Chain A
Amino acid sequence: MSKLVLKFENSVLREVPVGASEVSIGRSPENGLVIDNPAVSHYHARVFHEEGRLMLEDFGSLNGTFVNGQRVKMVMLKPGDSVMVGKHTIVVTESSEPGLMTWDGPARAAAPKINETVMLDTKARRDFLQQVAAGGESSQIAPARLKVATLLVRSGKTDRKEYALSDKLTVVGKSGMATVKLKGWFAPKAAVQINRREDNDYYVGAADKVPCVNGAPIAHPTKLASGDVISVAGIELEFVYRD
């Protein structure tokens, strides 16, 4: 429940609640909040609720209405705002209710809510993740695959003919890090890399060389499907899922 606290030079004169109907402010006795002072117009301004917001409207008064030091015509009020009418101050306050925020100090220009990073609250998050899991794929924990990703060497000189991919990073090349070891003087240290990413998908990416997948060179790391053929540095590897 919003309240208007009328003050004159730090003394509280009166408190007026703002209910469903508006509170009009002015010198005339018909107003909800009467301020008997020559600097205040007979019908000076009003405070009202609109779509859940507390609004202030100046009725074109002679001396104007100021909110936090700025002259206004129509503006939204927040708890803590200070409204100047003539020489009087009206402070907008909020009585404590669950769900309402309390503000200390002068109201600051808050960044729009949508730009604050927030967390989907626990129940909503769990419901969402359950929905996602029910949709066939889990977003957090990849389902254990019964099939093993394997590279079959179709041509070229390597240390083995077949490689089961178990690591998140597999290197094809001559370096100590390579799983698929290339032979030959001119073999690159790391021709290509194969990454196992989220959802247990495998991607082939260029390292020292740009590979072709099914005959076409790739522009960026490319997801592999069973049966795809990678050719690079004089070798051909077929990517398959084996049971």
Chain B
Amino acid sequence: MTIEMEFGARSDVGCVRENNEDSFRLAPELNLFVLSDGMGGLASGEVASRLSVETVVKHCGDAAADPALPIEGQAIGGVSQASNRLASAIRLANRTVHDAAKRNGNDGRMGATLAAVRVEGERLSIAHVGDSRIYRLRGGDFEQLTRDHSFVAEQMLRGRMTPEEASASALQSVLIRAIGIEAEVDVDVNEELLRDGDTLLLCSDGLTRELSDEQISAVLGEARDAQAAAESLVDLAKKAGGGDNITVIVLRGAPKTAGTLALIKRWFRR
């Protein structure tokens, strides 16, 4: 059984930065949705994030045409082939950005985060490197599905920092894992079940720096559709300060049948 997905996205430079170094791609023909936040300035961040996203989409596209395409790196046990292919794509993005940085000079460093979701029937492949996040809203529960690869997240995990201290910390942008910085990278891959009514959110940290979980889940729960949700989130983040580039991708498992009762309920909610 396939759940119908509707999707929407928006990326904005925000209110403070001069360039938008976030990139994203919606590839519905591959059921693939990817987002990347470039690191550092001097436009290399923009190059890194664009190259990351394009490499992931291309590799998954090539593999769809030729399933025998070799996997980059080691296959992971306990996950589907689609998940392994997504991890492979991200490792390839890492290698591609790393090699490009060496050729460019620029003191040889270019980096980005990456967050990606691939849908296969009712199974979601969730993969990421860095501190761009993937969340799910199911019923009233808003859950972060990815663990940040950041210094402060590690500190919180070890009980050395509270969430309040982390959000006030001057080190909150420091990553311990990123795309393109080293020759190889360890990609976190998880799988999730997709249910009707689930809403998935991929976002760069420009969103979560400005808005709380409560604010974000409220927008996701109330928005008319995925595109409206994406736009509202970006507008709200900008109103709250917009200190960084903001990119969001919203995916919704659309309810199969919008029956009369559901339509009436939606009308009254307006």
Contact = CB atoms under 8 A, between A and B. Distances in A.
Contact of A117 (B1, B79, B158, B173): B173
A146 B150 CA distance: 29
Nearest to A135: B158
A195 B176 contact: no
A122 B193 contact: no
Contacts of B83: 168
Interface in B1-49: 1, 16-18, 37, 39-41
Given A116-B173, A120-B174, A190 B122 contact: yes
A175 interface: yes
A177 B176 contact: no
Contacts of A39: none
A119 B18 contact: no
A195 B83 CA distance: 14
B141 A219 contact: yes
Given A115-B243, A116-B173, A118-B39, A195 B18 contact: no
B100 to A, nearest CB: 16
Contacts of B172: 114
Contacts of B41: 116
Contact of A139 (B173, B176, B190): B176
Contact of B79 (A168, A197, A221): A168
Contacts of B178: 119
Interface residues of A, number: 39
B39 A117 contact: yes
A108 B18 contact: yes
Contacts of B191: 167-169, 195
Contacts of B170: 114
A194 B41 CA distance: 41
Given A116-B173, A206-B139, A193 B154 contact: no
A195 B205 contact: no
B189 A168 contact: yes
A140 to B, nearest CB: 5
A119 B192 contact: no
Interface string A167-186: 11101000101000000000
* Residue of B113, B171, B195, B205 contacting most chain A CB atoms (<10 Å): B195
Interface in B66-124: 77-79, 83, 109, 111, 113, 121-123
Interface in A206-225: 206-208, 219-221
* Residue of B121, B123, B192, B205 contacting most chain A CB atoms (<10 Å): B192
Contacts of A8: none
7 contacts: A115-B243, A118-B40, A118-B173, A119-B109, A119-B181, A129-B176, A169-B192
4 smallest CB-CB distances across A and B, nearest first, come from A169-B191, A114-B170, A167-B78, A193-B193
Interface of B: 1, 16-18, 37, 39-41, 77-79, 83, 109, 111, 113, 121-123, 131, 138-139, 141, 143, 147, 151, 154, 157-158, 170-178, 181-182, 186, 188-193, 195, 205, 243-244
